[in-house]
Structure 1
Amino acid sequence: MLKGAIEYAPSTFEERGAAVAFTTPLLSQTRVRRGDRSKLEVLIPSLSQGLGIYVVAWRAVPDMVSMTMHDRYLHDLIVKEDACSPYEIRRATLKAARRGLAGPQAAQAARRVLEEDDEQGTLTHYLLILAILKAVGLESPEMLKAGIDTDEGQRLTRQLMTRAAESLRMDATLLYARLADVAAVAAPVGLARSPRTGRLARGLNDLKSFRDSMTAWAQDVPSDAGPVAEFCAAVAQHSIDIGDTVLGDFHRRIEAIGPLLRDWDDAFIRVRGQAARMAWLLDGWSHITGAWEVAQGEDRQQQAATVNDLFRILPLLPRREAGRDFVEDAKQVKVVHRRSVRMLEDWRMGRMDIDAIRRIESVKAFAP
């Protein structure tokens, strides 16, 4: 069901929806959310170049748009899993890409990312064990020397964790369960003292590089797309400001592992909420930073076209999260954006654009 174009100024992340990495140009980075009666619906930017969006029942999308095979599979998967959070959408996206439906490079990248996720989870779990033992004064050179992946290392770890549970005045089974919960929440974000940066922390760093590159491009390249690029950089900066604050607070709470485990009911809800907020805050940005990275190898005209295309899918912060109204700012930039688009004669249409699909697939291979 098509509900028609509406003004797009969401109040919450959930109302904004999670970005979906479709390869069909018209649907690329459209957002899915729960609508009436908790049914999934997709938000499609208005084709009239306005700031409105079309709200479409999720199940009706294949009947409205000619979709690639990858997108039909991903669409069915999201329906099947009833997914609409950034974590769930990412998991479905990686499953679809791993099947090779978005090309061999995207499939290879998806397999690599899934392996990295597993490795990050294992590393985070190990580092949290060390943090717990340190917090209760049970650091063990013997355990470190043996290695946690050996039989002797695991035996020493069990002994020490049992003693740690006694120090924390909780059952060892409960300690292990809470440790697993913290590790699952912390792995995507990353620990402050980890030798490997977490995915979300890395995404925040990528966003800072995007901001710097977009600002420099706007200054160096005379183009009607310059003000659009400056706006993109400003939106990125606002997300960065909030992201730095959330990430810093998240790391401080995780490092206070003893109080976190003891004051569990309240403390873990806060930590889990901060991790979810980081995921929502960065949702949709990986495609944008990846697309801009790919555009660095193209000519200035194509870069300007990329700037204009990215403007339409910028993850504007919801009203409750933002300290300023970027929707109103976007309306002013939109005048320049229309002029730049007309100059380039480049606008996404409903027809199947093979070149555009290939560009999107190259981004998926770069940043799945």
Structure 2
Amino acid sequence: MLKGAIDYAPSTFEERGAAVAFTTPLLSQTRVRRGERTKLEVLIPALSEGMGTYVVPWKAVPEMVPMTMHDRYLHDLIVKEEACSPQEIRRATLKAARRGLAGPQAAQAARRALEEDEEQSTLTHYLLLLSILKAVGLESPEMLKAGIGTEEGQRLTRQLMARAADSLKLEANLLYARLAEVAAAVAPVGLAQSPKPGRLLRGMQELKGFRDSMTQWANEVPNDAAPVAAFCADVAQHTIGIGDAILADFQRRVDAIGPLMRDWETDFAVIRTHARRMAWLLDGWTHVTGAWEVALAEDRQQQALTINELFRILPLLPKKESRVDMLGAAKRVKSVHRRSVRMLEDWRTGEMDVDAIRRIELVKARTA
């Protein structure tokens, strides 16, 4: 089924699908979603340098496009796990990259990302525990001095959490369980008071840097790609505005952790929804900001080509998530958009562009 790449505008994040970090250039950042009868399908934009988006059954992709070994493994993982949310796709992507199929640097980056996820989870759990104690007036210098990882620190923590549960009129086991659920939902985003920002907070910071860099490039470089760069900056700014609003309410609710633990059914559902929405909002942007970071070290011509490539995969917001019509602006920019003279892949012969694959693997090594 073929739909126009510009005319087609999804209504929801789920309809837009989650971006997949394939290394095959033609498939790079294509999106997977659930179609009819909940079957997975992939959206491939601008196939054969055309103006359309092909919607293809997921299982048929290897028959349609020559794929790298990494991409075949990743494709199989997604089929087996029926993954289609940003978090599920990311887990599958890191699992594939960790095997070294996208190169040693990408494998190292994937292992590092998994380690950072674990560290962030532990840190978030610890900081939330301290917040609970502070909320009920039970801050303990002795516990902090002993360290929560020590036997003495754990003993003090159990005592204090039991007292906190009494203060909140909850069973201690229930308080621990709720704390674990909040930590799991919050860790990918991160806490404002954390010494290290969470993955999605970092993503917002990187997106703001991308917006500023695109704006500067559009203003300073006399090139046909300048209007495209300005459009990329506008889309980034629009995404940032929505993300900042979500994060403000998210952080306010997490900070009020005492009331959260008491009014659990209502407040935690909102926090979890905010966290999921942030993951969808930033889905696909990591590759975009990473590719631009790589291009910044290159000449203006290559930067212009990169901007044109990024326009093809730019994560436009679904209609129900935005009051601003970016689709009309995209149509206007399309008239001045110039494709990169380096073909992403000769789709007619199936010949791979090795240089393009290496560039994608370099981005993966920086953005796992």
TM-score in terms of structure 1 length: 0.97
5 Å matches for 1:58-207? 58-207=58-207
Matched, 1:292 2:288: no
1:278 aligns with 2:278: yes
Equivalent in the alignment of 1:348: 344
1:111 partner amino acid: R
Deviation at 1:347, TM superposition (A): 3.5
In structure 2, the residue matched to 1:5 is 3
Asked whether the 8 Å contact 1:5–1:53 carries over to 2, the reply is: yes
- Provide the secondary structure at the position in 1 that maps to 2:53: strand
Q: Work out the CA distance in 1 between the residues paired with 2:124 and 2:71.
A: 33
**Match of 2:219, as an amino acid?**
Q
Q: Which stretches in structure 2 are left out of the alignment for 5+ residues?
A: none
Kindly indicate whether the alpha-carbon contact (under 8 Å) linking 1:5 and 1:46 is maintained by their aligned counterparts in 2: no
8 Å CA contact retained: 2:305, 2:341 = no
TM-aligned CA deviation for residue 61 of structure 1: 0.3
2:272 is aligned with what amino acid? R
Q: 2:17 maps to what in 1? A: 17
- 1:5 to partner: Cα distance: 3.1
Structure 2 Cα separation of the partners of residues 253 and 283 of structure 1:
23
Residue 33 of structure 1 deviates from its aligned partner by: 0.4
Residue identity opposite 1:102 in structure 2: A
With 47-56 and 114-123 compared, the bigger mean Cα shift is at 47-56
- How many residue pairs match? The answer is 362
In 2, distance between residues paired with 1:209 and 1:116?
22
> 1:235 aligns to what SS in structure 2?
helix
1:107, CA displacement in angstroms?
0.3
Q: Does 1:359 align with 2:364?
A: no
Cα deviation 1:221-249 (Å, max 9, x = unaligned): 11000000000000000000001111111
Q: Distance in 2 between matches of 1:57 and 1:250?
A: 36
**Offset, 1:196:** 0.8
Whether contact under 8 Å (1:51, 1:331) holds in the other structure is: no
**Where does the alignment leave 5 or more consecutive residues of structure 1 unmatched?**
none
Root-mean-square deviation (Å)? 1.0
- How far does residue 47 in structure 1 lie from its aligned partner after superposition? 2.4
CA drift at 1:50: 5.4
1:253 aligned residue: 253
Matched-pair contact (CA < 8 Å) for 1:29–1:313: yes
- The C-alpha deviation readout for 1:225-282, integer Å capped at 9, x for no partner, is 0000000000000000001111111000000001111111111100000000100000
Residues 293-330 of structure 1: CA distance to partner in whole angstroms, max 9, x if unpaired? 00011111111000000000000000011121111211
In the other structure, the counterpart of 2:305 is 305
User: Given that residues 20 and 30 in structure 1 are in contact (C-alpha distance below 8 angstroms), is that contact kept between their aligned partners in structure 2?
Assistant: yes
**Distance in 2 (alpha carbons) for counterparts of 1:164 and 1:108:** 42
Paired residue secondary structure (1:97): helix
CA shift in 2, pair 1:267/1:144, >3 Å: same
Contact 1:283–1:315 at 8 Å: present in 2 too?
yes
Per-residue deviation, 1:348 = 2.4
Give the SS at the match of 1:43.
strand
- Cα separation, 2, equivalents of 1:15 and 1:5: 13
Query: Contact 1:8–1:51 at 8 Å: present in 2 too?
Result: no
* CA deviation after TM superposition for structure 1 residue 4, in Å: 2.4
2:46·2:312 contact (CA, 8 Å) conserved in 1?
no
* Equivalent residues of 1:287, 1:364 under 8 A apart: yes
